[in-house]
Amino acid sequence: MLLRLLRILWVITRYRLDTLLPLERLPWPLRVLFRLSPLRLVPIGERSRGERLRLALESLGPIFVKFGQVLSTRRDLLPEDVADELKRLQDQVPPFPGSEARDVVEAELGLPVAEAFASFDAEPLASASIAQVHAARLHGGEEVVVKIIRPGIDRVMRQDMALLYRFARLLTIVPEARRLRPVEVVRDYETTLFDELDLHKEAANTSQLKRNFRDSTHLYVPAIHWELTRHRVMVQERIYGVPVADLAALKAQDTDLKKLAERGVEIFFTQVFRDNFFHADMHPGNIFVSRKHPHDPQYIAIDCGIVGSLTREDQDYLARNLLAFFHQDYYEVAALHIESGWVGEHTRANEFAAAVRTVCEPILEKPLKDISFGQVLLGLFQTARRFDMKVQPQLVLLQKTLLNIEGLGRQLYPELDLWKTAKPYLERWMEERAGVKGFWASLKRQAPELSHQLPELPSLVHQVLSQAEREKRQRRHQGDALGGIQRQLAHQGRRHRRLRLGLLLVALAVAWQPLAEWAGGQPWPALAAAVLGLALLAWH
């Protein structure tokens, strides 16, 4: 752990990443600290800032490379030169030797490469943070790609995750950071990241996504060769397409970029709401465009190692929130947040709605190129701090995917109005979900379970009625018992009153003569007061 931390500090020093910080925006104590830091004695060199950042992330391993991949899609938040360098992280990570790749394949398949494949290219087609891909051909003539996990990658990832956990626990000391649930976010990230190390899971995810879009003209998913797929090796149909980030090639084949961008939005919402199964690693390195029918473009998706799904409650909540945004109904947005528990119950809906309106109003009815989502996110975080909003870890994957979709749409067709494209789809989905069609679909989905329970219905009804009758008799017995107790207490009360009255009369009889002598010498007001006191005592 200590050695890994020292290595991270060494990489930061070697590539002078401190120069990427906007010192003028930091608090003055940090500005002084950085200006007096010994790091300033290390020469920067001739490399550009983007290249230094890319090389540093590559040196630090897959977790940091993943971070760089996400950043590379946000050209609205990064300088152009930095974004261009980080873009190379999507499929140009330094590869590991082809001989090691062959060794992994033979160890996983349990047979020589020559027996498994008619040909196997030792030079990788592409190399990413966790795995790399080699071209091959099966003995039947089919062209395939072989995806191979990097040797020893799990050990480095576990060390980095341990550091992230320590940093997250350190953040919980700060009240504002505690609101973001850093430990839960890291835990969810760990789960999704380590799922990528099991290519069996990626193959299953790919098959599911292909089945969901089997007859679609919008998205194609290559087939899996299960007989040659193992834990660290996956064999998949080879595809030929244009990388979605290669705008020059897309324009050269006269691709309809407007339709391509709109279909990307539709595919995303279809995955989230219709299938409840979405590709959650949609950076440009994993998305291609078919060379066929450029006027009716079709996406090709690969690398389904990270997928996401939502509960029905999350789906409904997300759709209702988005529709409320589209209709500029900020009070409904506030009410949904309070109802779901994302903000405290003490929050006043009208105040929260006013804060959301201030942040979100600028993003509506504008083309994507005019929207600064960085400023919107900053405003939402400020609103979150004010109303103690909590980050929902179960939606972190969806939020990351939305960022990727936005970055992709901004590159393809900057004039795309994301909200106008999505609004009809969401309205149609909500109508189907809440209408007669949705009710009928829900009834058909539950029909097998209902048919299984139907023969048991008379027995269940008899049990319910018997239980109700037993409870009724029990309440009647309890009522009778309480009535008896009340009568007994009333009878005891009357006995006590008679006893007190008898004792008072006996006391008067015994003390009558002294009282008569005393009364003879008293004026009449004193005698009246004594008689009244005796009467009150007897009545009590």
Distance CA(476)–CA(473), nearest Å, equals: 5
- The amino acid occupying position 408 is L
- Count of C-beta atoms within a 10 Å radius of residue 443: 10
**Sign of the CA dihedral 445, 449, 455, 457?**
negative
List of residues 6+ apart from 359 with CB closer than 8 A: 376, 379, 380, 382, 383
Rounded alpha-carbon distances, angstroms, from residue 416 to 143, 360, 503: 37, 18, 100
CA 16 – CA 35 distance, rounded (Å)? 13
Side chain identity at residue 436, one-letter code: V
Pull the structure tokens for residue 4: 């890994």
Distances (CA, A) of 452 to 442, 458, 461: 16, 13, 16
Q: Which residues contact 351 (CB under 8 A, 6 or more apart)?
A: 387
From 195, 246, 275, 281, active-site residue: 281
Q: Which amino acid is at 355?
A: A
Q: Quick one: tokens of 229?
A: 């797929």
Could you tell me the two tokens for 236? Answer: 């998949």
Distance CA 314, CA 456 (A): 33
Whether 148 contacts 197, CB under 8 Å: no
Helices assigned H by DSSP within 278-435: 312-326, 330-340, 349-360, 373-387, 396-412, 418-434
**DSSP symbol at 181:** -
281 labelled catalytic? yes
Q: Which residues are catalytic?
A: 281
